[in-house]
Amino acid sequence: MDILKIKKLCRTESIEFSRHVSDRMFQRKIIADEIIEAILNGQIIEENPDDYPHPSCLILGVTIQKRLLHIVVGVTDTKLWIITVYEPNPNKWINNFTKRKG
**Mean local confidence (pLDDT), 31-44:** 96
Average pLDDT over residues 16-41: 95
Contact indicator for 73, 56 with CB cutoff of 8 Å: yes
Amino acid letter, 100 = R
Which whole number is the average pLDDT over 26-43? Answer: 96
Quickly list DSSP for 27-90. Answer: HHT--HHHHHHHHHT-EEEEEETT-SSS-EEEEEEE-TT--EEEEEEEE-SS-EEEEEEEPPPT
Share of the chain above pLDDT 70, in %: 100
pLDDT band at 12 (very low <50, low <70, confident <90, very high): confident
pLDDT per residue as tens digits for the range 62-75: 999 999 999 999 99
Average pLDDT, the chain: 95
Domain ranges of the chain: 3-90
Nearest alpha carbon to residue 17 among 69, 85, 67: 85
Please give the model's pTM, rounded to 2 decimal places. 0.94
Confidence of residue 1 (pLDDT cuts 50, 70, 90): confident
Q: Backbone phi, then psi, for 6, in 5-degree steps?
A: -60, -45
